[in-house]
Chain A
Amino acid sequence: KQEVTQIPAALSVPEGENLVLNCSFTDSAIYNLQWFRQDPGKGLTSLLLIQSSQREQTSGRLNASLDKSSGRSTLYIAASQPGDSATYLCAVSFLRVNYGQNFVFGPGTRLSVLP
């Protein structure tokens, strides 16, 4: 069964720090990987989508990398701000699963950026 894990489960950093969130997946045969942000009591906001043929994607202070062969992705947040505090979810679309059921979420990393 394809699985997605994320470490750490929670992270607390002072404002201004650069930080890295990790996502691992068990099968390297993927279509793409998507990073989401979820604020407490809210829905999911898509941050970055990396196709299987890409190595990284950037949006503002966010950079996501993908290493399919090792089954890993990292989300790098530069110069963190209190407004970055949220739960960050990684989701992977796997090739070797039925089209409709192949989007698997990790458990998330809860980030707190302290002023």
Chain B
Amino acid sequence: NAGVTQTPKFQVLKTGQSMTLQCAQDMNHEYMSWYRQDPGMGLRLIHYSVGAGITDQGEVPNGYNVSRSTTEDFPLRLLSAAPSQTSVYFCASRRDRESSYEQYFGPGTRLTVT
């Protein structure tokens, strides 16, 4: 199993540009989520999904959209990039919404918005 994969690893955007961060998992996990990691702020939840077709907002959802058309994929869209979105983005998955299961993380995408 590849586990949780993310692309790209690095990205530089100009303010106002849009892009999609890709996330995929091959463990047949129902629950997937996106976090951002900023110095001094720790990891914060952006959006999550408890299954295909079901998404919801986390702690810091503004400026981001998600969709979940398949179990495997959970892309994160930046509609109009802002410098405040410069961060490292992590995708995670676990077996289902039951919180007793272990979470697995992807390698991250380092995004810079100029």
Contact = CB atoms under 8 A, between A and B. Distances in A.
Contacts of A32: 99-100
Given A103-B103, A108-B42, A43 B33 contact: no
A91 B40 CA distance: 16
Contact of B105 (A43, A93, A108): A43
Nearest to A98: B56
Contacts of A42: 107-108
Assign chain A's interface to a size class. Answer: 20 to 34
Contact of A34 (B35, B58, B103, B106): B103
Interface of A: 31-32, 34, 36, 41-46, 49, 51, 89, 91, 93, 95, 99-103, 105-108
Given A43-B90, A43-B105, A93-B99, 6 more contacts: A31-B100, A32-B100, A34-B103, A100-B45, A100-B48, A103-B103
18 contacts: A32-B99, A32-B100, A43-B106, A91-B43, A93-B99, A95-B99, A99-B97, A100-B31, A100-B33, A100-B45, A100-B48, A101-B45, A101-B58, A101-B59, A102-B99, A103-B103, A105-B35, A107-B42
